[in-house]
């Protein structure tokens, strides 16, 4: 059924395409559907990915940029040389596939434990932190005038939103209270530069090959704001998967990340990065609590939600380590 619908869609914009094969829904994605398929073409089959809102899905979350905006962002990044899939087609009403877009498939791995442990990626691990710094510099250097309309976020606004989310859970956690107070006391104020912020730049949203970063995925939370937010988020301990002494994704140092960013012509503010790392850790902790609440209250008791929900306690430890480092 899906192959037929995709085949009709592809025939309308891909000259010479004769059909679609190997359509399969991929796992993962909390709010969007992802399908992999191959476009049959006389010049050779074309690997493709469909990203769309599930049928019957309601309004996008308030923080979401929207699928149409995601498609524009990914194409602008691709055109600027930032590793990103090429957008092939934005879905139209006549496609009868809902809201979303089709992009070229990029081969590689997104599973963190494989990237951090498998021999296949041994040559990539030593260069990833510096490479990621350069990729983030490319994202932050995209011309805002060429980008879609996005939310404008400040540290103060993010603190307000996360506190509201936390209070709505009605689940008091003293460490979260401490972190909220610390963030308000250490708010660095408006950023001297406002850029595009990816919003979820981390393991799982990066396609990695033996040569390093091949594509940045999932631009759903993109917004305009402080570029140091992305650098802080990628350093959150939850994305290190046990390799806690390597702050950047479990494979590199902050110094390597910063060096790559600055080699690309941009400036790092380490104090602001630390602030956003604390913010990101609290953000993930609140998200974990939300998952646990959904597990408890939803008629569908998803084990995945419960597993994510229990990680809120890990973020409490991370916050204490950040706010009360040893030796102080």
In terms of pTM, does the model score above 0.75?
yes
Give the integer Cα–Cα distance in Å for 184 and 156.
8
pLDDT tens digits for 195-204?
999 999 999 9
Give the integer Cα–Cα distance in Å for 265 and 259.
10
Of the candidates 305, 314, 253, the one whose C-alpha atom is nearest the C-alpha of residue 281 is 314
CATH of segment(s) 112-323 = 3.90.1200.10
Give the integer Cα–Cα distance in Å for 161 and 165.
6
One digit per residue, the tens of pLDDT, for the chain of length 328 reads: 899 999 999 999 999 999 999 999 987 555 689 999 999 999 999 999 999 998 765 555 678 899 999 999 999 999 999 999 999 999 999 999 999 999 999 999 999 999 999 999 999 999 999 999 999 999 999 999 999 999 999 999 999 999 999 999 998 999 999 999 999 999 999 888 999 999 999 999 999 999 999 999 999 999 999 999 999 999 999 999 999 999 999 999 999 999 999 999 999 999 999 999 999 999 999 999 988 887 777 776 777 777 888 889 999 999 999 998 766 5
Q: Where are the domains of the chain?
A: 2-104, 112-323
Give the integer Cα–Cα distance in Å for 159 and 278.
11
Sole residue written with tokens 């599930």: 54
What single-letter DSSP state applies at residue 109?
A: B
Give the integer Cα–Cα distance in Å for 14 and 179.
52
For residue 25, give the H/E element and its range: strand 19-25
Residues 6+ apart with CB under 8 A from 125: 115, 116, 251, 252
pLDDT tens digits for 29-62?
556 899 999 999 999 999 999 999 987 655 556 7
What are the start-end ranges of the H helices in 60-214? Answer: 67-79, 112-117, 125-140, 155-168, 174-185
Question: Residue 230: how many CA atoms within 13 Å on its side-chain side?
Answer: 31
CATH of segment(s) 2-104 = 3.30.200
Give the integer Cα–Cα distance in Å for 106 and 82.
14
Structure tokens at 65: 């940029």
State how far the alpha carbon of 280 is from the alpha carbons of 9, 196, 309, in Å. 39, 17, 16
Structure tokens at 320: 């204490």
Give the integer Cα–Cα distance in Å for 83 and 86.
9
Sole residue written with tokens 């809120």: 312
């Amino acid at each position: 059924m899906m192959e037929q619908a995709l085949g009709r869609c592809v025939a309308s914009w891909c000259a010479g395409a004769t059909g679609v094969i190997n359509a399969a829904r991929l796992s993962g994605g909390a709010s969007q559907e992802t399908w992999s398929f191959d476009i049959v073409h006389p010049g050779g089959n074309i690997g493709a990915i469909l990203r769309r809102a599930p049928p019957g899905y309601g309004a996008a979350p308030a923080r979401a940029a929207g699928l149409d905006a995601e498609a524009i962002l990914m194409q602008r990044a691709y055109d600027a040389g930032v590793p990103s899939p090429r957008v092939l087609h934005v879905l139209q009403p006549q496609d009868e596939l809902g809201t979303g877009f089709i992009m070229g498939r990029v081969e590689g791995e997104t599973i963190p434990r494989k990237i951090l442990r498998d021999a296949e990626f041994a040559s990539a691990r030593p260069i990833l932190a510096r490479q990621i710094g350069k990729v983030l510099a490319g994202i932050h250097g995209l011309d805002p005038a060429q980008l879609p309309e996005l939310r404008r976020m400040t540290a103060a606004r993010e603190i307000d939103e996360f506190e509201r989310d936390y209070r709505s859970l009605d689940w008091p956690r003293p460490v979260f209270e401490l972190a909220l107070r610390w963030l308000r006391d250490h708010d660095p104020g408006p950023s001297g530069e406002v850029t595009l912020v990816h919003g979820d730049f981390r393991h799982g949203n990066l396609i990695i090959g033996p040569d390093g970063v091949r594509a940045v995925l999932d631009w759903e939370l993109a917004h305009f704001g402080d570029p140091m937010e992305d650098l802080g988020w990628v350093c959150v301990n939850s994305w290190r998967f046990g390799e806690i002494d390597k702050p950047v994704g479990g494979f590199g140092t902050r110094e390597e990340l910063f060096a790559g960013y600055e080699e690309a012509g941009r400036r790092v503010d380490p104090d602001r990065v630390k602030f956003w790392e604390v913010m990101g850790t609290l953000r993930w902790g609140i998200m974990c609590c939300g998952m646990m609440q959904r597990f408890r209250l939803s008629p569908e008791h998803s084990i995945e939600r419960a597993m994510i929900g229990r990680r809120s306690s890990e973020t409490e430890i991370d916050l204490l380590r950040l706010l009360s480092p040893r030796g102080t």
